[in-house]
C-alpha cells in the first residue's frame, strides 16, 4: 500500500523526544486494516501528540477518529497538530484518563475499530471497558505486544519494573488468546500487533 500523506517530521520529532508513536510498519498495517474493512470510525486509546490519529484520518477516506489522552502536555500538542492540519472535523480528542472516562461522551459509537495504544499494564481494563462500543463485526487492534521482544524471554529481564510490566502484557496476551468469545490474529509487525474479533 502506498501512503498518500505522511507526517515524517512529526514522527521524527516524537521519537527524538521519546514519545512512543507507532512505528511506520505498524501504522501502515493499521491503515491497511481500516481500508480493508472500509472503516468509518475508530476509537483510539492513547493519542500522544496526534500522530496516529492524523495518519489514519489522512489516509482512510471518510474515517472519523475519537481519541483519548491522559497527559495534558501531549493533549495540547495533539490539538495543535490536528488544528494545524485542519482535521478538527474528523478527529475528536479528549483529555482524560481512559480508565475513568465517561463513555456517554463518545459520539460515534459503535466503532468499526478500537485501537488500544496506551498504558501497557492496563490493556485488559481498556479492552473490557471499550469492547462494548465496538460494532458486532468490528475489530480491536492492540499495539506493543512484544515489548521489544522481551516478552519471549521474561526470566532474563533484569530490571524489576520492566519485568513486572512485561509479565502484565504476557498476562493480557494469554487471557485474550484463550478467551472463548474472541479470536486473535497475531502479527510480528512493529512491536507486535494483534487483531481481535468476536467469534
Of 199, 87, 89, 62, residue with least CA distance to 140: 199
Of 30, 21, 28, 74, residue with least CA distance to 51: 21
Cβ at position 169, least distance to ligand SAH in Å = 14
> Toward ligand SAH, which CB reaches closer, 168 or 198?
168
Find where cell 511506520 sits: 24
**Residues sharing a CB contact under 8 Å with residue 114, sequence separation 6 or more, in sequence order:** 42, 43, 45, 130, 131, 133, 134, 138, 139, 140, 141
Q: Which stretch binds Mg ion (CB under 5 A): 27-35, 81-89, 140-148, 181-189?
A: 140-148
> Toward Mg ion, which CB reaches closer, 63 or 116?
116
Q: Which stretch binds Mg ion (CB under 5 A): 47-55, 139-147, 156-164, 172-180?
A: 139-147
> Toward ligand SAH, which CB reaches closer, 46 or 138?
46
Cβ at position 120, least distance to Mg ion in Å = 8
Cβ at position 73, least distance to ligand SAH in Å = 9
Cβ at position 45, least distance to ligand SAH in Å = 6
* Alpha-carbon span 175 to 138, nearest angstrom: 20
Q: Which stretch binds Mg ion (CB under 5 A): 81-89, 135-143, 169-177, 178-186?
A: 135-143
71 makes contact, choosing from ligand SAH, Mg ion, none, with CB < 5 to 8 Å by partner type, with ligand SAH
> Toward ligand SAH, which CB reaches closer, 73 or 180?
73
DSSP string, 80-95: HHHHHTT-TTTEEEEE
Cβ at position 28, least distance to ligand SAH in Å = 12
Residue 83: count other Cβ atoms within 10 Å of its Cβ.
12
* Residue 66 binding Mg ion, by CB under 5 A: no
Find where cell 491497511 sits: 32
Do the beta carbons of residue 143 and residue 191 sit within 8 Å? yes
Alpha helices in 94-152 (DSSP H): 123-130
The site for Mg ion (CB under 5 A) is made up of 117, 143-144
Amino acid at each position: 500500500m502506498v501512503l498518500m500523506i505522511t507526517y515524517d517530521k512529526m514522527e521524527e520529532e516524537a521519537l527524538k523526544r521519546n514519545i512512543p508513536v507507532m512505528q511506520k510498519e505498524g501504522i501502515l498495517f493499521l491503515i491497511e486494516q481500516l481500508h480493508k474493512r472500509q472503516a468509518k470510525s475508530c476509537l483510539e486509546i492513547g493519542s500522544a501528540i496526534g500522530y496516529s490519529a492524523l495518519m489514519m484520518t489522512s489516509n482512510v477516506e471518510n474515517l472519523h477518529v475519537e481519541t483519548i489522552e491522559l497527559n495534558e502536555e501531549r493533549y495540547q500538542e495533539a490539538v495543535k497538530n490536528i488544528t494545524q492540519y485542519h482535521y478538527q472535523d474528523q478527529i475528536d480528542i479528549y483529555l482524560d484518563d481512559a480508565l475513568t472516562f465517561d463513555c456517554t461522551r463518545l459520539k460515534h459509537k459503535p466503532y468499526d475499530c478500537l485501537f488500544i495504544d496506551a498504558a501497557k499494564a492496563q490493556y485488559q481494563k481498556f479492552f473490557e471497558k471499550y469492547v462494548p462500543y465496538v460494532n458486532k463485526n468490528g475489530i480491536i487492534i492492540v499495539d506493543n505486544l512484544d515489548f521489544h521482544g522481551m516478552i519471549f524471554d521474561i526470566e532474563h529481564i533484569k530490571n524489576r519494573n520492566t519485568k513486572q510490566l512485561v509479565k502484565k502484557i504476557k498476562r493480557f496476551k494469554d487471557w485474550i488468546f484463550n478467551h472463548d468469545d474472541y479470536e486473535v490474529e497475531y502479527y510480528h509487525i512493529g512491536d507486535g500487533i494483534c487483531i481481535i474479533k468476536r467469534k
